Amino acid sequence: MTNPQILKAEQCVSMEDVRAQIDRLDQALVGLLSERQRYIERAAEIKSNRDAVRDEARIVDVLSKVTARARVAGLNPDIAQAVWRVLIERSIALEFEAYDRQRAR
C-alpha cells in the first residue's frame, strides 16, 4: 500500500479520497492494536494468579477514560464504548489463553 497524502475529511472531494484516508487510518490502528496486544500478553506473564486476568474495576476505569477521551476528540461515545467493550473482552480472552499457555510449559 502506498502512503496517501494526508487529507482532513473536509478536504476529500471523492470517495477515492475518503477511502484512501480510511485505509491509512486502518493501517495505523492495526499497528496500535498490535502494540496493545503485546502489553496484554506481557500482563499474562506478569500476573501470578489466573483470577487476576479479569479485573472488573480496570474494565470500568478503561471504559470511563475512553468515553471521556472520545467526547473530547469528537468521537461518538456510543461507538467508543462498543468498540472498546469488544476490544476488552477479546483482550481478556487472549490474556487467559496466554496465561494458560505459559503455565502449561
Query: Which domain covers residue 83, as residue numbers?
Result: 9-104
Burial 59-93 (b: 16+ CB within 10 A, else e): eeebbeebeeebeeeeeeeeebeeebeeebeebbe
Buried residues in 12-24 as b, exposed as e (16+ CB within 10 A): eeeeeeeebbeeb
* pTM given for the model: 0.89
**Is residue 16 in some structural domain?**
yes
What would the pLDDT profile of 18-63 be if each residue is shown by its tens digit?
A: 999 999 999 999 999 999 999 999 999 999 999 999 999 999 999 9
pLDDT at 72: 98
Residue 80 lies inside a defined structural domain of this protein? yes
Where do we find the cell 482532513? Answer: 8
Q: How confident is the model at residue 88 (pLDDT cuts 50, 70, 90)?
A: very high
Specify the CATH number for the domain of residue 28: 1.20.59.10
Cα–Cα distance measured from residue 26 to residue 37, given in angstroms and rounded to the nearest whole number:
16
Residue 2 confidence (pLDDT): 61
